Structure 1
């Protein structure tokens, strides 16, 4: 929700500033400019990016405005409870816990534990999964960053097309002012979409991906410690650094 608040503030700043300066809301409404900027930007991205990266980029776009920051303290408590459960009932008891997890990475780690895999194998499998997912997400982020680069250029193209139409109608000087003003709306759309939506969203996704990866590193280490038979207090002490790092990131976000 906090991200949506930022978008609303950006719109309020632009529309409010235009109104205070004597402009009207309808002056900023131009479907033709929107079609050129949005359609052209998407087309450029489709040409550049593989389909998998393009589709993943839009999934991450929605995820950025739905996702909460990972709760490192809650993850620590989960690891402690799983460690105690494994000590009381054996590792096989973690299989039921695996099926209850929404986080597929954690569910995979718990299943490996329940299957009795050795600690080094658990770490190896989860590290590959962690790195692969992070790389896929960062490639998708580059798609959104590229959209932020293309949008202003498409805005300029829309402006030039509008000015061409204005110049073609020089015989009607009464309409020149309105025509030129309308032409420049494309530039506003391109620069605004890039700098108030696409680029900030790409940066937000990168931060979320980094935080999630750090959280998964903590969970991976904790699950490996459970497989090694460490007691809950030792696990908590070893993972305490993750807890401090996670809350330090949250306080600066």
Structure 2
């Protein structure tokens, strides 16, 4: 469970509701199903026009990772790479061939397979960096979906407010209800701005952070495999790999279950 995500959403809503109540308002005043329908429906429609359905579906599936993150033991990956380095130094890089079936990380398995097959370090780096870049390009579309939603939602909220005002202006003969009608009309603007700044844009930022963390670990894995091919001392490899983990440990503090 990502405590930062849950705590942030809870604090945002608590602050807004508390401010409303302090000013003498009521929660019921901002609970307008029609306004929510206009904002969410309009935003989803605009996003569907911009992105293919497969990308949108993947984005909504990935939304859960904003609040729940899979625990990955990166230190175990470093230890595994160091064990491979020690074995390769004793028995040669070809001796790692028997360990390939036991590797669950597909990226590490592919890089190590190329290494065992005798691929030169420069060529291996080129191949695997291309894979990292292609993976990052595909994954980059996921946070972009929520960034676009965060851009559309406030504008759709204004449309909803204007629609509400149009309805109010058509009933000016009931002047006692004009004020209430105007207040209701502006609820759509609240939904648009609120959803953009409390949900869509922060979710995009967190997903992009997850993407960068995953990319950094792949880069660490690649450096480890290349260092093994080059015959670097395992202690030097450990120092190199630990430098990749330093930033990850800082960004993941507070996300422990």
Flag whether TM exceeds 0.5 (same fold).
Answer: yes
Aligned CA distance change for structure 1 residues 59 and 123 (closer, same or farther; 3 Å): farther
1:74-153, aligned counterparts within 5 Å?
Answer: 74-86=76-88, 90-98=95-103, 100-101=104-105, 104-113=106-115, 117-153=119-155
Higher mean C-alpha deviation, range 196-205 or range 112-121: 112-121
- Give the direction of change, closer, same or farther, for the CA distance of 1:16–1:107 in structure 2 (3 Å limit): farther
Residues 134-213 of structure 1 aligned to structure 2 (within 5 Å): 134-213=136-215
Q: CA deviation at 1:252?
A: 11
Deviates most, 30-39 or 129-138: 129-138
- Measure the CA separation in 1 of the matches of 2:217 and 2:115: 18
Unaligned runs of 5+ in 2: none
Q: TM-score, normalised by structure 2?
A: 0.85
| Residue 228 of structure 2 corresponds to residue 223 of structure 1 | no
Q: Which moved more, 1:114-123 or 1:183-192?
A: 114-123
Cα distance change, pair 56–15 in 1 and its aligned pair in 2 (3 A)? same
Partners in 2 of 1:244 and 1:167 — Cα distance? Answer: 60
Q: Which stretch shifts more, 205-214 or 21-30?
A: 205-214
**Secondary structure in structure 1 of the residue aligned to 2:10:** helix
Q: CA deviation at 1:4?
A: 1.8
Q: Could you tell me whether the CA contact under 8 Å between 1:86 and 1:94 is conserved in 2?
A: no
Partners of 2:227 and 2:54 lie apart in 1 by 35
Shift of 1:6: 0.9
Partner Cα separation in structure 2 for residue 219 and residue 8 of structure 1: 37
RMSD after superposition:
2.6
Q: Unaligned regions of 5+ residues in structure 1, if any?
A: none
Q: What's the offset of the Cα at 1:33?
A: 0.4
Pairs aligned (count): 250
Give the direction of change, closer, same or farther, for the CA distance of 1:91–1:118 in structure 2 (3 Å limit): farther
Distance 1:250 1:225 in 2: 27
- Structure ranking higher on relative contact order (CA contacts 8 Å, 6+ apart): 2
| Counterpart for residue 244 of structure 1 | 246
Q: 1:45 to 1:155 in 2, by over 3 A?
A: same
Indicate which of 5, 14, 22 corresponds to 2:7. Answer: 5
CA displacement at 1:171 relative to structure 2: 2.0
Give the secondary-structure state (helix, strand or coil) at the position aligned to 2:63.
Answer: helix
Contact 1:130 1:216 in 2 (8 A): yes
Kindly indicate whether residue 52 of structure 2 is the aligned counterpart of residue 47 of structure 1: no
Cα 1:158/1:246, change in 2 over 3 Å = same
For each residue in 1:200-245, what CA deviation from the matched residue of structure 2 results, as whole angstroms up to 9, or x when unmatched? 1112222221222112101111022223443421311333432334
> CA 1:163–1:58 in 2, change beyond 3 Å: closer, same or farther?
same
Compute the displacement of 1:122 (Å): 3.4
Residue range with higher mean Cα deviation, 27-36 or 174-183: 174-183
